[in-house]
Amino acid sequence: MTIRLLPPQLINQIAAGEVVERPASVVKELVENSFDADANLVEVDIEMGGLRLIRIRDDGIGMEQGELPLALSRHATSKIASLDDLERVSSMGFRGEALPSISSVARLALTSRTQGSNNAWRILADGTENGYEILPASHPCGTCVEVRDLFYNTPARRKFLRSEKTEFSHIETLLKRMALSRFGTGFVLRHNQRDVLNLKPATDQTEREGRVALLCGGTFLDSALAVDFESSGLRLSGWVGLPTFSRSQADMQFFYVNGRLVRDKLVTHAVRQAYQDVMYHGRQPVYVLYLALDPAMVDVNAHPAKLEVRFRDSRLVHDFLFRALHRAIADDRPTSSVTASSFPGEMPNLPTPERPGPAYSGRLGSMAHAPRQTNLPLQIRETLLTLNELYTPTSSNPASSSHQNETSHPPLGFAIAHLHNIYILAETATSLILVDAHAAHERVTYEKMKRQQQSGGVASQPLLLPVSVKLSEREADLIEEFAPSFSSMGMDLTRAGPDTVLVRSMPALLGSVDAEKLLRDTLADLNLHGRSPRLEQAVNTVLATMACHGSVRAHRKLTIPEMNALLREMETTENSGQCNHGRPTWVELSGKDLDRFFLRGQ
């Protein structure tokens, strides 16, 4: 077979197969070029879902006349000049493939003007990379790229596209996600000459939050925690949804690395681990997060469409993300300014972002096989009596009656009644609080047990006969590297050869768990992510079950002191907003909510 050089257009079409998947891919590449040109406004015009026309116009720095042919040549870029530049890429584009790849499968026109130039210059391209004619044109400072008849010369690619509505939906979703990465840039999106999106530049925090609310829905910010965490040269900022505000699918997860929207398995794993102890099973967290780090610490050249990145110290990044998010979620406790963020989000039988409602309408599951209820182990008798004196208003106790004053109300208020022997009704200065007593006490008990377990270490139980496990040499090396971690969780491991490990003891709480399977699963996590929560999760699962069976049951009547003691415990307990299964533990009904129920003021 004869070896021959491929023609330029075919080379570009091959490259286009990686870069240009659908019209939204074209929009992504061209808008990223506008970002690199320091544009303050990006206008996107779409016709027929992008098949007939994609026009991207910006007010960036523009290009000189002589640069236009270079911009349409492969591997021509102003972003990098050496390997050192490639290892510290801070721009969105850097390969110099987008424009020639797009022009090889569409009819492309490029018009640009720099500041101070008398006129703009226009060039047409067909993917051949030669014979360009540059003509003067009328255009303001900035650049305009018109892409017409996408895939007109590659019909096999065109037939894989979806309907006009579907393709435009991909473009709209993409532009909204990109708008979340550039608050200082304005965006206009039109489809078939109809305005769809018009975002002004967001210059302060209020305007940024307004853009987030517009693009993600107003209920997102009402049910989200602000995050701003910095350590080891990394900074994480943005918003994460409360565990009770979740989705059935991962359609509201936006993560940006140095301003670049990415989908990364390491990031997804770290976020999932941060939520694993508080998220309702089968649900997906929602977040808009921004990770900033030294460009040298991340390789953005790991995916043809630049949708994935590779961190040079993946373990550091994973642990940083996990610690930051875990801390933010755990630190969310009731405060004196309880807000609507306490409302649950989209969960089965609950109000959802698409279907808002005033309060939680779920119920406790079956308790038919639960052990007999024991007394509520919250405070000793003397403390309960003291709480009763402090929190029960009497005519002879001025201090207790003063709790009616707004400033003296604790965050979750004071207990009034135990409704149906299930829900605690409490009153604050401005609202009513409903608490699922079992769910709340389950979380309080669980967190106590975890703290006790961590402070005293995980009890270890020797195996009658050591379990011999054959591993790869790399996995056996991990055993030695993470020996302190295994030991702290009650797992005693001894290396008996290059590829053999003996399991001599296991956490006592786990009973007859499959030691070999747990070890292999843990090593798989360590090898992939540099961290494994499996041992900790296995122990916590047992603790959660014990906490569930040891907590106050539905239909057991609680006294006022017991209820107030539980409310005070909730106010100082991590993750008290949801039980061990991810269900909400309390909701608030504000005065405005009550007025709305009865049409007061209308």
In this prediction, residue 162 has a pLDDT band, given cuts at 50, 70 and 90, of confident
Question: In three state form, how does the secondary structure of 194-213 look?
Answer: EEEEEECCCCCHHHHHHHHH
Q: Is 288 a residue whose pLDDT tops 50?
A: yes
User: In this predicted model, what pLDDT tens digit does every residue of 40-98 receive, in sequence order?
Assistant: 999 999 999 999 999 999 999 999 998 898 888 877 777 666 767 677 777 776 666 78
Q: What residues contact 207, with CB distance under 8 A and at least 6 apart?
A: 183, 200, 201
Q: What residues contact 394, with CB distance under 8 A and at least 6 apart?
A: 400, 401
User: In this predicted model, what pLDDT tens digit does every residue of 570-599 receive, in sequence order?
Assistant: 999 888 888 877 788 999 998 888 888 888
**Strands of 456-499, DSSP E:** 460-470, 492-497
Tokens 């415990």 belong to 569
User: In this predicted model, what pLDDT tens digit does every residue of 233-246 receive, in sequence order?
Assistant: 999 999 999 888 88
Beta strands across the sheet bearing 260-261: 224-231, 234-241, 287-292, 253-257, 260-261
CA 105 – CA 86 distance, rounded (Å): 28
DSSP H/E element including 384: helix 381-391
Q: Interhelix angle for 164-179 vs 23-36, to 10°? A: 20
- pTM across the whole model: 0.70
Mean residue pLDDT across the chain: 80
Q: Which residue has the higher pLDDT, 458 or 262?
A: 262
pLDDT of residue 80: 65
Tokens 């004053």 belong to 405
Buried residues in 394-403 as b, exposed as e (16+ CB within 10 A): eeeeeebeeb
Q: Report CA-CA distances (Å) from 571 to 327, 352, 380.
A: 16, 25, 19
Which pair of tokens denotes residue 149? 């008849």
CA 561 – CA 567 distance, rounded (Å): 10
User: In this predicted model, what pLDDT tens digit does every residue of 524-575 receive, in sequence order?
Assistant: 877 776 666 666 766 666 566 656 655 666 677 899 999 999 999 999 988 8
Tokens 């609310």 belong to 213
